[in-house]
Chain A
Amino acid sequence: MKDTPMSNCERDFILKAIEEKKRLDGRQTYDYRKIKITFGTDYGCCFVDLGQTRVMAQVSCELVVPKENRPNEGIMFFNLELFPSPLVYPLQSELSVKLNRQLERCLRNSKCIDTESLCVVSGEKVWQIRVDVHTLNNDGNLMDAASVAAIGALCHFRRPDVSIQGEEVTVVSQPGPTRRGFIVRCLHHSIFFFLTFLLVDPCEREERVMDGLLMIAMNKHREICSIQSSGGIMLLKEQASRLELADSSLDNYQKDLKAGGRCGFAESMPQERITALKTDQTAVEMTDVSETASSIVQTAVAPPQTVPSPSVPVPGVGQVGEGLRNTWGLEEEEEEEEDVEMDVVEILDSDEEEEEVVILYPETTKKPK
């Protein structure tokens, strides 16, 4: 399915509005949408709502053999999936690859997780941390939401403790905190070329009309960890530094992370909306269940007899094998063999198509049994 294309008048409208410093939802050019971060019931699950963009991340871990060139370091694996999956919409696969690479570069190269702390037995067993990010709704700025969700999930995750006794390594089910370097945050800015306007946190409509994209990842010391620029835009150094300073939401984000308690998705469902409804635990009436069941069983039709090795004497079907009657090349002679054995079951639902099968024989018609 292809995405509905954007009409020209819509595109012109958005561009013209940006020229007058107006955005579709009334924000200023450097305003962010409201971010809501919630955590799931099990450790390592984080939901992020950035306006209408919704993303979920889940962290899981596993003990594996480390890479040969890095025996002391754990392994981090990132996976980002778009909803729906790119197998269905091939045009989205390009976007999926791009987002995966950006997420990996942003989180892996910034060393936000200290991989050496993931080592259990050097050269033999290390932790492999797997971060799965699922985008539930794409309303623009997926990269930012995905990175927030991934970092949130990593902060929320608890790694199980391991006890080593000689050669044996046992995993104790009580989880302990993961040690991490520092928090990284990705910022997503879109650039409009001929108007030389920079917009922060574009929504999906704005993303479609933008000319270029600049993504800056920073850590909490306001050092740039990675920059990704696409679209061939030349940016003045002053503009880039201005963007950094304009980001005050990084501090709020850190506060949110610390304050985020464990509330499952179930509890976070809003109650006051008319589109949501919740009921309590209900009991199910089971008084006459056994009587109904018995009556059904008694009046049921007896099942057909099962046979150990059914043979199907329909033209066009043969069987070959040890202990079975070899009917290879013997379709002409089937009428002669009328002996019905004890364990032959007639399968009555014959496919009419099968009877019209034309069997091609080689020159020698009769094959030795």
Chain B
Amino acid sequence: MTSFSCDKHRFHREGGMMEVFPSSTVSLREFGCEQTLLSRPDGSASFVQGDTSVMAGVYGPAEVKISKEIYDRATLEVLVHPKVGLPGVRERSQEQCVRETCEASLLLSLHPRSSLTLVLQVLHDDGALLSCCLNAACMALMDAGLSMSCLFCGVTCAISADGEIITDPTAAQEKESRALMTFAIDSKERRVMMSSTKGSFSVHELQQCVAASQKASEKIFQFYRDSVRRRYSKNL
């Protein structure tokens, strides 16, 4: 699994390119979100994509340990708790992906020498876990009222064995896929903020997945807008 935190991608140009069929059955599973469901954290949200659900809690800005303080920015810490067992290496890599995305979109210089803690608890994993974590993180940061320069959302794409692109795959689809990619897309210009990929794919397939994720992200941003509008509306 490789992960980048910048926009430009470096890739190897392969000899023959695979013929990718334009698929018309790409869809996102049903998703839902609930905000402010925990009383202790400053902001909390749970995001559900199909059967995958993740709960996020944000604490901050709060006091930071002297060893971790940064003089001009807030220190962001992300913790991912798996459902079974103690956090391991996989959770550390997921934490890094989420942290880099959040650091790129939060205005950290507004809270120097403070700490922001984001805790993600996996409630059920049925595929597309990292993108569900990213979406829950964004909604929790919004709920906590932290200033962000842009919103972000996570979309997972899988390339099946016959070259079909599936967005928001279930666990069964992920298992049979040839490649699995997760992108974090920002809301202002729909650019890729973070990408995490697993498996082998061609250049053309990568760009197709990026384009598909950008299309899918429109739906998710519209959903963010609707939930916030619903929250502050005077009637349901």
Contacts and interface: CB of A to CB of B under 8 A. Distances in A.
A277 B223 contact: yes
Contact of B208 (A130, A139, A287, A289): A289
Contacts of A137: 38-41
A286 interface: yes
Contact of A279 (B10, B123, B223): B223
A293 B33 CA distance: 31
B30 A279 contact: yes
B121 A134 contact: yes
A54 B38 contact: yes
Interface string A275-301: 111111111111101101110110000
A282 B26 CA distance: 9
Given A286-B24, A289-B211, A292-B211, A84 B51 contact: no
A58 B53 CA distance: 14
Contact of A2 (B63, B123, B165): B63
Contacts of B210: 293, 296
Interface string A193-213: 000000000001000000000
Interface stretch (A29-37, A93-101, A264-272, A332-340): A264-272
B26 A284 contact: yes
A303 interface: yes
Contact of A297 (B55, B62, B204): B204
B160 interface: no
Interface stretch (B98-106, B172-180, B181-189, B227-235): B227-235
Nearest to B48: A266
B32 A278 contact: yes
B170 interface: no
Contacts of A138: 40
A132 B83 contact: yes
Interface residues of B, number: 70
Contacts of A139: 39-40
Contacts of B223: 277, 279
Contacts of A56: 121, 123
A284 to B, nearest CB: 5
A358 interface: no
Interface string B33-62: 111111111000010101101010101001
B135 to A, nearest CB: 12
Interface residues of A, number: 57
Contact of B26 (A286, A294, A302, A303): A286
B82 to A, nearest CB: 9
A269 B215 contact: no
Contacts of A79: 85-86
B72 to A, nearest CB: 20
Interface string B178-215: 00000000000000000000000001100110111001
A9 interface: no
- Those 5 A-B pairs whose CB atoms lie nearest each other, nearest first: A278-B32, A293-B207, A276-B34, A277-B227, A293-B208
23 contacts: A1-B63, A40-B124, A54-B37, A83-B121, A84-B79, A84-B119, A85-B81, A85-B87, A130-B85, A134-B83, A136-B57, A136-B121, A137-B38, A264-B51, A278-B30, A278-B31, A278-B48, A279-B30, A281-B28, A281-B30, A284-B28, A286-B23, A304-B10
Interface of A: 1-2, 40-42, 45, 52, 54, 56, 58, 60, 79, 81, 83-85, 88, 130, 132, 134, 136-139, 204, 264-266, 269-270, 272-287, 289-290, 292-294, 296-297, 302-304, 306
Given A277-B226, A283-B27, 6 more contacts: A1-B115, A83-B81, A88-B117, A270-B34, A277-B32, A289-B208
Interface of B: 10-13, 20, 22-41, 46, 48, 50-51, 53, 55, 57, 59, 62-64, 77, 79, 81, 83-87, 115, 117, 119, 121, 123-124, 126, 165, 167, 203-204, 207-208, 210-212, 215-216, 219, 223, 226-227, 230-231, 233, 236
